[in-house]
């Protein structure tokens, strides 16, 4: 997989996430999301956490924040009072350190524990998958008709089949897709979402 394709998908997934966040009414940040136990604000905080892990790795800093990983409590704290602004600030800061040299380098240590030899581009693929699913999690919970780009769905589904572990704090059991389900619905039901 070429680095430029991976980066392109990563950026387009972030653009879609940004578009959904920009449509969230200010009084809805604390509404329930499609992620069990997490509000819309919590989902944003979790995605910000992923960006911060990558940015700190890129700049050689340790990142010890524990409120953002999958299954954590109150990741919305990372999103602050204005989750859209918090997300955009984290995205811009992370984009600023995504150099070609970094992308060729090894993944953060916490990622390498499960995937020896992984590179930063592997992290970007995982973050793309995570962002794609969470874009739907937020939009659908607020009544938006979120249509994800087909190639982002296809790549995310391929990755999901390889990496999914089903635990109470990550992904629930597969949900049967509705008759005639399209690829987006099949991805979402595979990761335990009801469509």
In the chain, domain spans = 3-190
Instruction: Check residue 79 and report its DSSP letter.
Output: G
User: Could you give the C-alpha distances from 22 to 44, 71, 79, 184, in angstroms and in order?
Assistant: 12, 25, 14, 22
Instruction: Check residue 155 and report its DSSP letter.
Output: H
Give per-residue pLDDT as tens, 94-113.
Answer: 999 998 888 888 887 767 66
What pTM was computed for the model? 0.92
Give the DSSP H or E segment for 51: helix 40-58
- What's the rounded Cα separation, in Å, for the pair 139 and 44? 12
- What's the rounded Cα separation, in Å, for the pair 52 and 12? 19
Give per-residue pLDDT as tens, 19-51.
Answer: 999 999 999 999 999 988 899 999 999 999 999
CA angle 162/155/104 to nearest 5° reads 85
In the structure, what pLDDT confidence band is assigned to residue 1 with cuts at 50, 70 and 90?
low
Beta carbons within 8 Å of 180's beta carbon, 6+ residues apart: none
- What's the rounded Cα separation, in Å, for the pair 160 and 191? 8
Instruction: Reduce the DSSP state of residue 115 to 3 states and report it.
Output: coil
Which of 90, 100, 88 has its CA nearest to residue 7?
A: 100
Q: Report the sign of the C-alpha dihedral through residues 120, 130, 173, 30, in that order.
A: positive
Instruction: Reduce the DSSP state of residue 39 to 3 states and report it.
Output: strand
Q: Which CATH architecture has domain 3-190?
A: Up-down Bundle (1.20)
Give per-residue pLDDT as tens, 121-174.
Answer: 988 999 999 999 999 999 999 999 999 999 999 999 999 888 777 666 667 788
Instruction: Check residue 141 and report its DSSP letter.
Output: H
């Amino acid at each position: 997989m070429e680095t430029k394709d991976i980066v392109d998908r990563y950026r387009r997934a972030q653009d879609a996430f940004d578009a959904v966040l920009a449509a969230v009414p200010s009084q809805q940040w604390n509404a329930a999301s499609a992620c069990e136990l997490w509000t819309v604000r919590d989902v944003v905080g979790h995605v910000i956490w992923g960006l911060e892990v990558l940015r700190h790795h890129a700049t050689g800093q340790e990142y010890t924040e524990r409120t953002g990983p999958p299954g954590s409590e109150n990741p919305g704290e990372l999103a602050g009072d204005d989750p859209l602004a918090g997300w955009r600030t984290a995205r811009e800061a992370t984009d600023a350190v995504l150099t070609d040299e970094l992308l060729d380098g090894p993944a953060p240590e916490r990622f390498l524990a499960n995937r020896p030899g992984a590179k930063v581009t592997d992290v970007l693929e995982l973050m793309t998958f995570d962002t794609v699913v969470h874009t739907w999690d937020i939009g659908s919970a607020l009544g938006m008709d979120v249509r994800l780009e087909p190639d982002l769905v296809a790549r995310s589904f391929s990755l999901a089949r390889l990496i999914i572990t089903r635990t109470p704090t990550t992904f629930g059991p597969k949900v049967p897709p509705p008759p005639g389900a399209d690829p987006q619905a099949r991805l979402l039901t595979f990761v335990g979402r009801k469509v």
